[in-house]
């Protein structure tokens, strides 16, 4: 986690430059004091009650906890499992008021396991490089000693360069347990347009989780796919005969090897765009300001101090004017772009300001585990299906037409499964070496084995709009599956529909999840029945009839349907034994992977079908 700490000195230009710095340096979290104004959206900008201290979450890290009551002079939040405090203690506070502020902070922080307390304390001490020690420093150290806090400031580089001189007033404290994870704490020389200098540091992940690992999602950048290299890598590959599990594993090794040879890996850090008003002219003026500031600081006590001071003030003024001019011009351009592209850049900027980011998944361990337990209930399994293959049983091999039909249903722009193989790469693999896929899928059907790697599903919890975020029913579970397994599911599904759609198969009153039918057809059926019932002349002793509509909703049907009941229903539909065997294998030993703030976890699924699968709806 990359962190920036800065006092903005209530300067508009400083806050504008901060936005550019955060984007360019990929800052995940900013600890700010004396902000010019609070930025939106409020779920990523956490400020105190009087706009003196703030925490800006900019790296997509969820805010796990925030105070119910907002206090003056400090703000706090739990982010990434760490409690961050942003503090601004103005010089006007008396020693008693300063002590009261620190008492509030220590009371709020007491019992927190991982702590970062940073900000502008306006306290001077020789312990962190000042020329003298003042009473505030003793009060500060005595208060934070109760929290076992360690000071990160090192050296004598000033964090404040004011007209009255330089000093070190911006301090960073962390608890002793967190200190070993803090790397590269430094006072930056980057120009901020504030009297204060920015502080940068990183907090490393422990990387010591003993929980089961999950295959990385979005491992390759599909936009860099070299089709020629991918096809060449696939052309020379082979899959040795063996069990269905071994052949499927070998097939995926071949595909991932071709991906490595033809695509670059995705940068795990989120790509961030520059601020919309940034120009090369502003970059040049920023460098001029930095150069003028250095000359001014070095001229103190010399005869040319006033000249350098005037040059520095002039450079700052030019930078402020350039930023305001560029923002006005860019704003007019954005307004003009709306007429040409309603959903383009102006729309994205406006929605980000209105606090309408993409819905984020919950990450609290208690909430996620509770949601998983509620949405994927434990259901006792019935007796195992025993259908040994008979010698005379005919199992049709997978045909090229079936394979191409399943491949054509893959959407190239859809998200890949847990293995990270892009869909366009998988379609190219099928087109290049269909023979390998035909052998592997045929072996699966003949042995009645659905490979375990394709049964592992990654959970995505989609929040339902307008629902309370602390209830499991407020989330819709979507299961991400490997696309190669979905191709096999499609082949099984197409063969299964031949029996469910024939006479004597599914009821004519079943509208959902069927070709040529929809819930609209069901609504029209209800309306026509009602109209026919009331088509007469009189209600009492006439030809008009009463019509009642009874509705029934099966709660969480997708995830709680019993596997033994589904297989029994398939047997009643006279589905061939080889399809029953592979569907029974498809059900068994399913594993759900999900992530919380404490790491990656797995959950054994005992009922239902994955929402997001191909076979799920028909089953």
The SS3 call for residue 235 is helix
For residue 42, the model assigns a pLDDT of 62
Q: In 3-state terms, what secondary structure has residue 32?
A: strand
Residue 105: C-alpha distances to residues 7, 93, 173, 182 (Å): 19, 15, 13, 22
Task: Tell me the sheet residues that pair with 478.
Answer: 460
DSSP state of 398: P
* Residue ranges of domains in the chain: 2-203, 220-267+362-604, 280-354
Question: CA 204, CA 366: separation in Å to the nearest integer?
Answer: 24
For the chain, report the end-to-end CA distance as a whole number of angstroms: 44
pLDDT given at position 388: 81
Task: Report the side by side order of strands in the sheet with 45-47.
Answer: 45-47, 53-57, 29-33, 2-7, 199-203, 182-187
Residue 31 near residue 39, CB atoms below 8 Å? no
User: Which residues of the chain carry a pLDDT beneath 50?
Assistant: 207-218, 270-271, 355-358
Distance CA 335, CA 276 (A): 13
Asked if 553 contacts 529 with a C-beta cutoff of 8 angstroms, the reply is: no
Instruction: Output the pLDDT for position 354.
Output: 53
Cα 59–chain centre separation:
10
Residue partners of 403: CB distance under 8 A and separation at least 6: 430, 434, 437, 438, 441, 487, 491
Q: Which pLDDT value is given to residue 121?
A: 94
Specify whether the backbone of 488 is left (phi greater than 0), alpha (psi in -120 to 50) or beta. alpha
User: Residue by residue, what is the 3-state secondary structure of 151-192?
Assistant: ECCCCCCCCEEECCEEECCEEEEEECCCHHHEEEEEECCCCC
Torsions phi, psi of 150, nearest 5?
-115, 135
Spatial separation of the C-alpha atoms in residues 392 and 77, rounded to whole Å: 68
Please list, residue by residue across 501-517, b when 16 or more beta carbons sit within 10 angstroms of its beta carbon and e when fewer do.
Answer: eeeeebeeeebeeeeee
- The CATH class for the domain spanning 2-203 reads alpha beta
CA dist list (Å): 517 to 239, 511, 513, 525: 41, 5, 8, 12
| DSSP state for residue 92 in the 8-state scheme | T
Give the residue from 181, 182, 264 showing the smallest Cα distance to 219.
264
- Please give the full DSSP string across 273-326, using - where no structure is assigned: PPPTT--HHHHHHHHHHHHHHHHHHHTTTSTTHHHHHHHHHHHHHHHHHHHHHH
Quote the pLDDT of residue 209.
40
pLDDT digits (tens, 9 = 90+) for 369-392: 999 999 999 988 777 778 888 878
From CA 285, how far away is CA 280, in angstroms rounded? 9
SS3 assignment, position 100: helix
Select from 217, 272, 231 the least CA-distant residue to 478. 217
Helix ranges (H only) for 110-163 are 135-145
Q: Which of 77, 66, 140 lies closest to 103, judged by CA?
A: 140
Residues in the chain: 619
- Which of helix, strand or coil describes residue 76? strand
Select from 150, 152, 215 the least CA-distant residue to 186.
152
pLDDT of residue 211: 40
């Amino acid at each position: 986690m990359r962190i920036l700490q800065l006092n903005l000195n209530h300067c508009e230009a400083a806050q504008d430059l901060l936005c550019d710095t955060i984007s360019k340096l990929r800052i995940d979290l900013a600890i700010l004091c004396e902000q010019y104004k609070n930025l939106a959206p409020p779920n990523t900008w956490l400020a105190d009650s009087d706009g003196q201290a703030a925490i800006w979450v900019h790296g997509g890290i969820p805010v796990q906890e925030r105070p119910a009551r907002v206090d003056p002079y400090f703000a706090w939040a739990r982010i990434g499992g760490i409690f961050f405090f942003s503090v601004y203690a103005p010089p006007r506070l008396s020693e008693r008021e300063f002590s009261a502020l620190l008492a509030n902070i220590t009371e709020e922080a007491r019992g927190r396991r991982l702590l970062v307390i940073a900000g502008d304390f306006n306290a001077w001490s020789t312990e962190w490089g000042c020329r003298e020690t003042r009473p505030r420093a003793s009060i500060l150290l005595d208060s934070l000693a109760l929290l076992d806090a360690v000071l990160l400031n090192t050296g004598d580089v000033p964090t404040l360069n004011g007209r009255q001189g330089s000093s070190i007033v911006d301090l960073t404290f962390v608890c002793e347990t967190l200190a070993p994870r803090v790397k590269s704490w430094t006072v930056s020389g980057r120009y901020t347009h504030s009297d204060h200098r920015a502080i940068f540091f990183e907090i490393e992940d422990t990387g010591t989780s003993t929980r089961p690992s999950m295959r990385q999602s979005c491992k390759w950048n599909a936009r860099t796919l070299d089709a020629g290299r991918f096809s060449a890598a696939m052309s020379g590959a082979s899959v040795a005969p063996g069990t269905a599990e071994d052949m499927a594993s070998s097939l995926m090794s071949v595909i991932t090897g071709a991906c490595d040879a033809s695509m670059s890996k995705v940068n795990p850090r989120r790509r961030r765009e520059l601020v919309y008003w940034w120009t090369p002219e502003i970059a040049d003026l920023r460098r001029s300001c930095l150069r003028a500031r250095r000359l001014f600081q070095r001229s103190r006590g010399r005869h040319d101090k006033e000249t350098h001071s005037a040059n520095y003030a002039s450079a700052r003024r030019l930078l402020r004017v350039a930023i305001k001019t560029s923002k006005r011009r860019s704003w007019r351009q954005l307004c003009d772009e709306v007429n040409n592209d309603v959903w383009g850049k102006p729309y994205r900027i406006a929605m980000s300001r209105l606090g309408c980011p993409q819905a984020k998944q919950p990450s609290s361990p208690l909430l996620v585990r509770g949601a998983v337990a509620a949405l994927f209930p434990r259901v006792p399994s019935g007796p195992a299906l025993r259908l040994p293959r008979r010698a005379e049983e005919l199992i049709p091999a997978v045909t090229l037409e079936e394979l191409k039909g399943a491949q054509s249903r893959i959407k190239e722009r859809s998200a890949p499964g847990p293995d990270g193989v892009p869909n366009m790469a998988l379609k190219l693999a099928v087109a290049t070496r269909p023979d390998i896929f035909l052998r592997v899928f045929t072996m699966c059907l003949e042995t009645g084995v659905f490979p375990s790697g394709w049964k592992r599903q990654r959970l995505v919890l989609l929040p339902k709009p307008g629902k309370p975020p602390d209830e499991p029913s407020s989330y819709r579970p979507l299961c991400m599956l490997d696309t190669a397994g979905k191709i096999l599911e499609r082949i099984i599904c197409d063969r299964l529909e031949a029996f469910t759609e024939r006479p004597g198969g599914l009821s004519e009153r079943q509208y959902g999840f069927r070709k040529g039918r929809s819930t609209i057809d069901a609504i029209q059926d209800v309306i026509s029945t009602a109209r026919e019932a009331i088509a007469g002349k009189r209600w009492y002793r006439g030809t008009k009839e009463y019509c009642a509509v009874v509705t029934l909703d099966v709660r969480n049907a997708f995830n709680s349907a019993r596997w033994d009941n589904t297989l029994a229903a398939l047997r009643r539909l006279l589905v061939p034994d080889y399809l029953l065997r592979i569907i029974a294998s498809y059900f068994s030993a399913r594993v759900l992977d999900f992530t919380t703030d404490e790491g990656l976890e797995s959950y054994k699924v005992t009922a239902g079908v994955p929402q997001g699968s191909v076979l799920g709806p028909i089953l």
